[in-house]
Every structure is written in structure tokens, then in C-alpha cells.
Amino acid sequence: MKISWTNKVPSRASIPGFTMVETCVAVAVVGVFIVSLCGGLAMGTGIIRSSRERQRATQVMVEKFEMIRLYTWAQINSNGFVPTTFSAPFDPKQTNGGLVYNGRLSISSATNTGAYKDDLRQVTVQLTWTSGSLVATQSMTSLVARYGMQNYIY
């Protein structure tokens, strides 16, 4: 019985592995993926922030309409009783700094109402705020009737 041992070293061509070109392509693909992921996260964060700001603006405008709903017809029509300008913070608990909504409330005669012209008023609430370097505006309009809900409250 003959046992032979050979100390043969395999040639470089037969060792499995990655070439430099394959490694560079893989690093480029991973780099594009990471850059896309960071861009997507930044865009998502901006969209969520904008949605929160618009939602809060809607809440402020609805609050003003609820205030108008509780006034009597005489109070709505008297000059100076309803404040025409106001401001509201983004975070009601925050006392200074931060995002602030500046609002304007206008009450005018309703248009295109025919026979009800003297019994209707058009109320418009408009908010403006600065988000970063952008100025955003949102408004809401509704009608108030002389014989509306306020007659049942008082």
C-alpha cells in the first residue's frame, strides 16, 4: 500500500471570489439604495409636517366658526363685536416661539341669494402661516342665517 501526499497549492485562477469590478458595482448599487432611502425619508417627513400644519389650520378655522355659530344675529351684524384678526399657535401648550397662524375673519352680505339677501351673511376665515421658507394659506367660507341655530340657544 502506497500513500502519497502532495503539497500542491491551487493556482490563483481556481480560487473562487469576487473581482474588483463586481465589488465596485455592488458598492454603487448599495450607495444608490442608501441615497434613495434618505431622500424618501426626508420627503415623507416633510409631507407629514405639512399635513399636521394643515390639519391644525382646519381646527383653528372650525373653532372660529363655532364661535360665530354661538353669536346672535345682532352681534354678528354689529361692527367691532367680532374680532377681525387673530393669531393661534401651532401647539396650544407652547407659550412662545414656534409656528403661529395669523388669521382674518370677514363677515359680508351673501351674494347670489335672491330673496334671502337680508337674512344671510357670508363668513370667511383665512389663515396664513410661514413653514420654513414657504408661506401657506388656507381659507374656509360658510353662511350664517338670521333664523339659524343661535335663536334656539338664547
Q: How far apart are CA 115 and CA 128, in angstroms?
A: 35
What is the full DSSP assignment across 107-131?
EEEPSS-GGGGGGEEEEEEEEEEEE
The 10s digit of each residue's pLDDT in 68-119 is: 988 888 888 888 888 999 999 988 887 677 899 999 999 998 877 677 778 8
pLDDT at position 12:
62
Tell me whether strands 134-145 and 120-131 are parallel, antiparallel or unpaired.
antiparallel
Residue 75 lies in a domain: yes
27 touches 110 (CB < 8 A):
no
Q: What is the pTM of this model?
A: 0.72
pLDDT at position 154:
52
Q: Which domain holds residue 78?
A: 54-153
**How many domains are contained in the chain?**
1
100 touches 129 (CB < 8 A):
yes
Residue 122 lies in a domain: yes
Residue 31 lies in a domain: no
How many residues are present in the chain? 154
The residue assigned the cell 351684524 is 77
Q: What are the helix (H) ranges across 70-118? A: 73-77
Name the helix (H) or strand (E) containing 90. Answer: none
Cα–Cα nearest to 62, from 145, 140, 122: 140
Handedness of CA 29, 35, 41, 43 (dihedral sign): negative
Residue 72 lies in a domain: yes
Residue 38 lies in a domain: no
